[in-house]
Amino acid sequence: MSISLQLYLLFAKISLFTFGGGYAMIPLFQNELVTVNGFLTDAEFANMVALAQMTPGPVGLNAATYVGFNQAGIIGAAAGTLGLMTPSFILAVLAAIFVKVFKDNPTMQAVLSGVRPAVLGLIAAAVIFFADTSVFSAPLRNMWTAGASFGICWPGLLIFAITIAMELSGKIHMLWTLLVAGALGALLLA
């Protein structure tokens, strides 16, 4: 199977199981791109999400383009993006045609009553995933592994706290917050 077809199918699969978009996609992407296929390391993946946050457009599309491009150039980027779009597009058009079937459908609502909280759990897991490569000096799961070390990266924790303060003030655009965090990183981190 060609790499482009593989990328297309991979991103179509991810798209089909993503509910809630954005941050909820992070664990699915991480599973498929890092753990299963080894396209990226944990740190590379985290950097890619960071890059996706700082550029326009949905995080998922940015990620598919980036990974596709790194694996197989422009054709790969197009394959990844189209793969991610296909299930979304087909289901949305079907939903537009059969809007009465999709709207307030009791079966769909029952299914979503389970999926929504689970997705929240996945988003919380994405917090830990990011902390593992930023606020912690080693992955959290090391705490339970004999002989492995775990610790806090203090400058990382400081940037984390400053970001929370900036966001809660409600007046600062997210792009500025991220620029401040990047600048602090360059100054404080060793």
Least Å distance, CB 5 to another protein, is 19
Residue whose entry in the numeric block shows the structure tokens 């991103």: 11
Return the number of the residue (5 or 74) whose C-beta is nearest another protein: 74
DSSP state letter for 133? T
Nearer to another protein, 85 or 149 (CB): 85
Does 171 participate in binding another protein (rule CB under 8 A)? no
Nearer to another protein, 5 or 43 (CB): 43
Question: Which parts of 40-69 interact with another protein (CB under 8 A)?
Answer: 46-47, 49-62, 65-66, 69
For the range 86-95, what are the long-range contacts, defined as Cβ-Cβ under 8 Å and sequence gap of 24 or more?
86/8, 86/12, 86/15, 87/12, 87/15, 87/16, 88/15
Total residues binding another protein (CB under 8 A)? 112
State the nearest-atom distance from the C-beta of 16 to another protein, in Å: 6
Interaction mask 126-145, another protein, x per CB under 8 A: xxx-xx-xxx----xx--x-
Minimum CB distance to another protein, residue 7 (Å): 14
Distance CA 132, CA 69 (A): 26
d(Cα 18, Cα 84) in Å, to the nearest integer?
10
Q: Which residues contact 84 (CB under 8 A, 6 or more apart)?
A: 11, 12, 14, 15, 60, 61, 64
190: which residues sit within 8 A by CB, 6+ positions away?
155
Measured from the CB atom, the residue of 109 and 149 that comes closer to another protein is 109
HSE-CB of 109 using CA atoms within 13 angstroms: 5
What track of x and - describes contact with another protein for positions 8 through 37 (by CB under 8 A)? Answer: -----x-xxxxxxxxx--xxx-xxx--xx-
Check binding of 172 to another protein (CB under 8 A).
Answer: no
Q: Is 116 in the site for another protein (CB under 8 A)?
A: yes
